[in-house]
Chains A and B, each alone.
Chain A
Amino acid sequence: MNNAAAMALLSGSGISYQIGGRQILSEIALEVLPNKIMTLIGPNGAGKTTLIRLLLGLSPLQSGKVRRKPGLRLGYVPQRVMVADTLPLRVRDFLGLGGHYSVTEMQQVLDEVEAPAVFEAPIQSISGGELQRVLLARALLKKPELLVLDEPAQGVDAIGQQALYHLIRTLREKHACSVLMVSHDLHLVMAATDTVVCLNTHVCCTGHPEDVSEHPEYLRIFGSALDGLAVYSHRHDHAHDIRGDVVEGAAADCCHHEHPHPQ
């Protein structure tokens, strides 16, 4: 065991999973290190959500091991939360479910995720983007060491997605926590991640996002899907809304097919 494995917040090894005879995951190993953002990417049906559920203990393991740092404080943002219309619940009631928090604490955290106005609103009435922020706020209230986000930007429009990933990155820096998130689009999360794990039943490749985007396995899986997409990379700059960023180095190589940048 090297040092890194010893200090991992969450690690899994030899994880395999089958549903009805179909192999969903095969021999997965990964570890989430402190203060890092790790992103799982992969096509639909690659087993991303299954893996997250196994790591969190939401589904029983069939084989392999999951190790959590003892007493790990965890904030989880599921892929989709639908609160039944029959249940009257304001955002503030929802936030209060996870523990005992003061009104000030809850308002502060809503400010942090840039959704201060929804505090008193019924949770069924807020937009998809607001709901994702509220879920994030709920997770943050736990003062997490590890945030687990399953497709955090699902149901959010393209501009909202960029804003959301930017927010996640800011929050990571502010709270000094690790992030494990799932995405189906590497380029959306590129700027906001330290490590990418490309998953397609097995781990195809792991590494820095710009390296993964060049990896032959990655290109084999995603190459065709990437054609015709408006893809760009920005190197950890915070000006996420400036679409004409200069694309340089390795990152440029992955985007050399026609992409409609202004410059």
Chain B
Amino acid sequence: MDEFIINALFGGIALALVAGPLGCVVVWRRMAYFGDTLAHAALLGVALALSANFLPLIGVALIGAVLAVILFWLEKQSELSSDALLGILSHTALAAGLIVLSLVQRQTPGIDMMMYLFGDILAISRSQLYWMYAGVILISIAMWRIWPGLLSISVHEELARTDGISVSGLRFAFMLLLALMIAVMINVVGILLITALLIIPAASARLFSRTPVQMILLAVVFALLSVVTGLGSSMRWDTPTGPSIVVAAALLFFMVHVLRGLPGRE
């Protein structure tokens, strides 16, 4: 097999490994829109990094962290609901990112905007893979450390607080992990589709799980299946890879729902 396909496969596996657990928490805590906002802001991070000549990865992580701080602070201050705030931030960040990126493009015409918007898993290099797996390890360790508290606040924030858990600390920590995940995985599906891989596999997994941990493991399995089928069909029919992976995840989601709904099953 060609090296670019192997790299793509390993890149996809890396994404599935972190999208499973983070995606479940995103679904439980209704943070889908927040994930979208972070991802949109990531474009601004990339653009700024390119214009100032440092690693896009760092730009995305920094912007993600800044956004997490802003949102965290705004939620406490503002009378606006968090979904309105997210709407403002999300589209502002996306628009600003597109403007900065187009300015950068004028100077360095080689930059491919589409790659950041939709990802290019087939262009993943060996060194990018190292970054991605470093991210996977870091995120996994962090998740493992904060897991009991994170589950507690996902179940009921006030009960968690009376148990002495720092709710805002954990919320913030999770936002940062999400930003980090987007930063390292942006090449796989791009900023416009990355939330899909957080949510869809988790949603499929919900149907078959009775415990939180089961749901996470199943979400990883569904994400892996989506990556493999998406990659395969993209090669077979020469379709864009990122969107193919998302469509594969969605097809799986509908399939398991139909199967589940058939008579004779529970």
Flag if A56 contacts B155 (CB, 8 Å).
no
CA distance A78 to B162 in the complex (A): 10
**Residue A98, interface by CB 8 Å:** yes
Those of B188-216 within 8 Å (CB) of chain A: 203, 206, 209-212, 214-215
* A90 proximity list for chain B (CB < 8 A): 210-211
* B209 proximity list for chain A (CB < 8 A): 88
**Residue A74, interface by CB 8 Å:** yes
| Chain A residues at the B interface, C-beta cutoff of 8 Å | 56-58, 74, 76, 78, 81, 83-84, 86-90, 93-94, 97-99, 122, 138
* B158 proximity list for chain A (CB < 8 A): 58, 76, 78
Partner of A56 from B28, B148, B156, B162 at Cβ < 8 Å: B162
Flag if A81 contacts B159 (CB, 8 Å).
yes
In this complex, the member of A57, A76, A97 whose beta carbon has the largest number of chain B beta carbons within 10 angstroms is A97
With A76-B162, A88-B206, A98-B163: A83-B211 Cβ-Cβ less than 8 Å:
no
Flag if B27 contacts A81 (CB, 8 Å).
no
Residues 24-45 of chain B, each 1 if its beta carbon lies under 8 Å from chain A, else 0: 0001101000000000000000
CA distance A175 to B156 in the complex (A): 26
In this complex, the member of A86, A88, A94, A122 whose beta carbon has the largest number of chain B beta carbons within 10 angstroms is A88
**Residue B7, interface by CB 8 Å:** no
What's the minimum C-beta distance from B22 to chain A, rounded to whole angstroms?
A: 14
**Residue B151, interface by CB 8 Å:** yes
**Residue B233, interface by CB 8 Å:** no
**Residue B161, interface by CB 8 Å:** yes
CA distance A57 to B209 in the complex (A): 35
* B151 proximity list for chain A (CB < 8 A): 97
Flag if B206 contacts A97 (CB, 8 Å).
no
Flag if B159 contacts A78 (CB, 8 Å).
yes
SS class of chain A's interface: helix, strand, loop or mixed? Answer: loop
* B27 proximity list for chain A (CB < 8 A): 86
Those of B158-177 within 8 Å (CB) of chain A: 158-163
* A93 proximity list for chain B (CB < 8 A): 211-212
Flag if B154 contacts A81 (CB, 8 Å).
no
With A78-B158, A98-B163: A84-B212 Cβ-Cβ less than 8 Å:
no
The 4 A-B pairs with the shortest beta carbon distances in the complex, nearest first, are A76-B162, A87-B28, A88-B209, A97-B152
CA distance A178 to B138 in the complex (A): 45
What's the minimum C-beta distance from A7 to chain B, rounded to whole angstroms?
A: 22
* B161 proximity list for chain A (CB < 8 A): 57-58
* B154 proximity list for chain A (CB < 8 A): 84, 87
Flag if A74 contacts B28 (CB, 8 Å).
no
Partner of A86 from B28, B159, B162 at Cβ < 8 Å: B28
Which residue from chain A places its CB closest to the CB of B202 in the assembled complex? Answer: A86
CA distance A186 to B158 in the complex (A): 26
What's the minimum C-beta distance from A4 to chain B, rounded to whole angstroms?
A: 25
* A56 proximity list for chain B (CB < 8 A): 162
CA distance A94 to B211 in the complex (A): 10
* A98 proximity list for chain B (CB < 8 A): 159, 163
Flag if A83 contacts B159 (CB, 8 Å).
no
* A84 proximity list for chain B (CB < 8 A): 28, 30, 154
What's the minimum C-beta distance from A9 to chain B, rounded to whole angstroms?
A: 15
CA distance A86 to B214 in the complex (A): 13
Flag if B212 contacts A88 (CB, 8 Å).
yes
CA distance A122 to B214 in the complex (A): 14
Which residue from chain A places its CB closest to the CB of B148 in the assembled complex? Answer: A97
Flag if B28 contacts A81 (CB, 8 Å).
no
Flag if B211 contacts A86 (CB, 8 Å).
no
* A86 proximity list for chain B (CB < 8 A): 27-28, 203, 206
CA distance A74 to B158 in the complex (A): 13
What's the minimum C-beta distance from B200 to chain A, rounded to whole angstroms?
A: 13
CA distance A87 to B211 in the complex (A): 8
